A and B are shown apart, each in its own frame.
Chain A
Amino acid sequence: MAVTEVRTTIHPAGTDPVQIAEKIKELFPDQVIDVANFRDQVSVIIKKDMSVAILKYLHDDPLLSFDHLQDLTAVDYLKKKDVRFEVVYGLYSMKYRHQIRIRAQVAEDNPSIGSAVSIWEGANWHERECYDMFGIRFNGHPDLRRILMPEDWEGYPLRKDYPLKGPELEKDWIGFREVIRRSQELKEFEWEG
């Protein structure tokens, strides 16, 4: 049976995200590229090689305890940055109420990164969506399939070089052509009258 929690006004003291960034820098000195700070939100930009280890450390460390994966997505910095993709992990600790963002750089040729499903089960669908929209492969993902687009879709819609408006559907997508063909075939069974 549900009970009602009494309001707590005092927030437990969380660690300052800048300090967390420093900690990551200390532990993985050759992995951290940069630390960005915008509107009091800190993001740590890392290389992709040890991303899973860093995330696991953030999740498991009892003083950090980033148990909630708020968001997992990617950004395509085509012609803006040298490394094209960035996979972004938004982390939050429900216990300590602190927040940090990890941005792992992924190069354009054969884009792939380690999967975080072993750390957060919730990463499963987010990573599938990332693969669907950007074509970034997540190594070790249990079931990496397209999720929002049809399974036989070509191209990755959220990439910057993917057009906003596609060509006519009939010419483009094989599934639509199939539907048209079937409807032609089945026309003879149409009701008359």
Chain B
Amino acid sequence: MIEDVEKIFDTRELNVNMGPQHPATHGVLRLVLDIDGETIVKVTPHVGYLHRGIEKLGESLSYFQALPLTDRLDYVSAMSNNIGYCVAVEKLFGIEVPERAKYIRTIVGEMSRISNHLLWLATHALDIGAMTVFIYCFREREWILDLFEMICGARLTVTYPRVGGVRNDVPQEFLDSIWKFTDEFPSRILEYETLIDQNRIWLQRTVGIGVISAEEAVNWGMTGPTLRGSGVSYDIRKHMPYDAYDKVDFEVPIGTTGDTYDRYRCRMLEMRQSNNILRQLIEKLPAGPIMADAPKFLLQPKDMMMPITHPTKELAYVIEEKACKGCGMCLRACPAKAIFGEKKQPHVIKQDLCLQCGNCFVTCKFKALKLIPGGKGMTEEQLKELAAGPMPEEITKAAEYMVKHFEFVKKGPKVPEGELYVATEVPKGELGFYFVSDGSGKPFRMRLRSPSFVHAGVLPRLCKGHLVADVIANIGTIDIVLGECDR
């Protein structure tokens, strides 16, 4: 009977385009589905809609300037990306980070893991049809984002970890709040689990969906909880410990069957482990500096750069009439347009417009610019008088420091020649940075190995043979962010 119907209706494979604008694709992922009825025959992912050329940009920026780019990779766990970048650059420079900075970085890294898993759970459950979980998860995620705001002023694109340490020290208030969070969080995880863990719909939608064996998962290059769901215990925090992970005690949850449900369980257990790690770290947090002491490689704090000890703390730049050739270099370099003068005539700085940035000072080839102690209230004659007199030693020193600092910022540090690959465990898997250094202040090649890119490539394998609705579950379970995938 069925055969007869097929003869009449002439069934054939259908080609359906899903995305790039699709709510369940977590970004601009486009999938072309070849379907037979409702069964998937073939999935072809198309990525690259968010390609911004971060690798190329990295080659044109110094090691410090490229750090904010990493926020824009995996924007839901920017903290982890920053840490990955910093760990890699520190290893390239060969500098050791102080203990306190390591602990703080591990704390914020684990916070970011929890917030990432919460967002993953929220959206994954929403995709499958559990709306309530979404609201619950965002409640806790908001707490963590507020804490990020407390330490660095930003919620998502944080750039809080720096090469050599962290930007600011954490206040006690922050630690208290995190402690309170770790007290409450385990019961909140139970709340999520009450909603979906044994839920019949949830089980039907996840158990046995997107099964991948351990060998196959490794062969496909999967990492992170997506791999551990298949029963492979590969966690970079254990295999190649960085920051303070070798000083805390934690377990690596692994699954057995490698289906969507196992990966879900892995992430749930991982959140509990992160919670444990946070508690241990807060208890052990040592005192001390938060930035490495490596003046050859790192930018120094501002007060170290310009040790102005002059009592009034007021300085002014003036142009010496005799030495000025009127070349116009300083005129062009001045961002405030405070320098006036005709060509080949001595220039003058208008003190009330001057920002005291020092650009003119560094650009002048004839040493016509002088840094003198003096305020904005002084007349030009008074300033000229001061410029003609002898200079205090502190001020010549300050000027020297400034020129050094300027050159350091423009050229970058002298990095040892070589190439290295450093991987860190971000919430989504293995984030690797491969640097090739040619000895200059900019990387010769900056390569980003992003877990989302690899995981998006596994989608055809995971979806094959399942139903169209399971494509959504599979996209959720590999936890991809397209900003990271496309770079």
Q: Which residues of A contact B (CB under 8 A)?
A: 1-7, 36, 38-39, 41, 43, 67-71, 73, 75-76, 80, 88, 90, 94, 97, 101, 120-126, 129, 133, 146-150, 157-158, 162, 164
Contacts and interface: CB of A to CB of B under 8 A. Distances in A.
Interface string B463-485: 00000000000000000000000
**Shortest 4 CB-CB contacts between residues of A and residues of B:** A122-B221, A38-B418, A2-B265, A148-B48
Nearest to A129: B453
B55 A70 contact: no
B56 A164 contact: yes
A38 B53 contact: no
Nearest to A68: B218
B447 interface: yes
B447 A73 contact: yes
A73 B48 contact: no
20 contacts: A1-B262, A2-B256, A4-B252, A5-B233, A7-B250, A36-B419, A68-B218, A71-B432, A73-B447, A90-B432, A90-B449, A94-B218, A121-B219, A122-B458, A126-B221, A147-B47, A147-B48, A148-B487, A157-B53, A157-B56
Given A2-B255, A4-B269, 13 more contacts: A2-B265, A41-B419, A67-B215, A80-B438, A80-B444, A88-B434, A90-B421, A97-B239, A122-B221, A122-B222, A126-B454, A157-B56, A162-B56
Given A1-B265, A2-B266, A39-B91, A101 B221 contact: no
Nearest to B456: A125
B69 to A, nearest CB: 14
B280 interface: no
B251 A7 contact: yes
B420 A38 contact: yes
Contacts of A43: 419
Contacts of B416: 38
Contacts of A2: 229, 253-256, 262, 265-266, 269
Interface of B: 47-48, 51, 53, 55-57, 60, 91-92, 94, 215-216, 218-222, 229, 232-234, 238-239, 249-256, 261-262, 265-266, 269, 416, 418-421, 423, 430, 432, 434, 436, 438, 444-445, 447, 449, 453-454, 456-458, 461, 486-487
A94 B56 contact: no
A139 B258 CA distance: 32
B430 A70 contact: yes
Give the most central of B47, B216, B219, B453: most A CB within 10 Å: B219
Contacts of B91: 39
